[in-house]
Amino acid sequence: MLIIRTVAELRAHVRGLRAKGHIIGLVPTMGALHDGHVSLIAASSLRATSTIVSLFVNPRQFGDASDLAGYPRTEEDDAARAQAAGAAVLFAPSVGEVYPDGYSAEVRISGPLTERLEGAHRGPEHFHGVTTVVTKLLNMVAPDVVFFGAKDAQQVLVVRRLVRDLNLPVDVVALPTVREADGLALSSRNVRLSSADRRRAVAIPRAIAAVVEAYRAGELDVPALTARATAVLADAGLTAEYVAIADPATLEPRAVVDGPALLALAVPVGPVRLIDNTLLSPVLADSPVPALSGAGRTGGYVQQVPQSPEKG
């Protein structure tokens, strides 16, 4: 596996691959790779003939300087995991390579899609940072297909809107959330949890499970459903920043679950802020509770994310 640090070297390498007829897959990451990332790399290896994993902790999507400073950075381990999963290239640029001196451009998606949920709590600049860096990575790599995890459901929707609105020639693929044995969604931030906080964090998938069970039992009132989650979290000494049930395509808040709806929540656990989600849908009546899937299993709303049949 090659490790490339400059855009010029990356583009030269990609040109060579294109000349040989390769299909290019991109897996964007901020490092601290876990089995969720591995699943994305493996999926890319099935669809693309050459997979590029980007490793870049993007300062423009952090509103909290301490969160940025504390974000785990484990490049040596990340390179080993990426290579073992089938990546051909690890693109690990410096901040100066991505944002050179005098950099002033920004790619924005305005409106409710970036202003609700994460946008409301982390500020709209968070998604401006996401859309800017994703656009830059897509321009740098020029992949045929790019892979994201469904744990950040809102980010998937924002990236799809970005690709559609800018007519970017890439397919966006979202894959289900990978979970640990107790249901906690894998996240690079999990390594920052103390043992006590890790035990409390399992209340997040339990809160999701409580909502799913109530929904399967016939409860459709959103305040009643979100109250189930809030109670489970409170029992663990946790208070959510938000527990929301919204339209899975627009994030418009729902009052009643009269169709497929996205359940999303963000919960601070000690110094770490964790997010998770699942889809409330009639198909749940005959399926296991996704939040309690076993180790390495998946759960989430990805199956319901609108898929575009064509690039851009």
Q: What amino acid positions are annotated as catalytic residues?
A: 37
As a whole number of Å, the end-to-end CA separation of the chain is 29
Cβ–Cβ under 8 Å, residues 133 and 58? yes
Q: Is 25 helix (H, G, I), strand (E, B) or coil?
A: strand
CA angle 1, 3, 144 (to 5 degrees): 75
Sheet holding 171-175, edge to edge: 2-4, 89-91, 50-55, 24-29, 145-149, 171-175
* Paired tokens of 106: 């920004």
Show Cβ contacts of residue 189 under 8 Å, excluding neighbours closer than 6 positions: 71, 72, 272, 273, 274
Looking up tokens 């409330």 gives: 280
Three-state DSSP string of 86-135: CCCEEECCCHHHHCCCCCCCCCCCCCHHHHCCHHHHHCHHHHHHHHHHHH
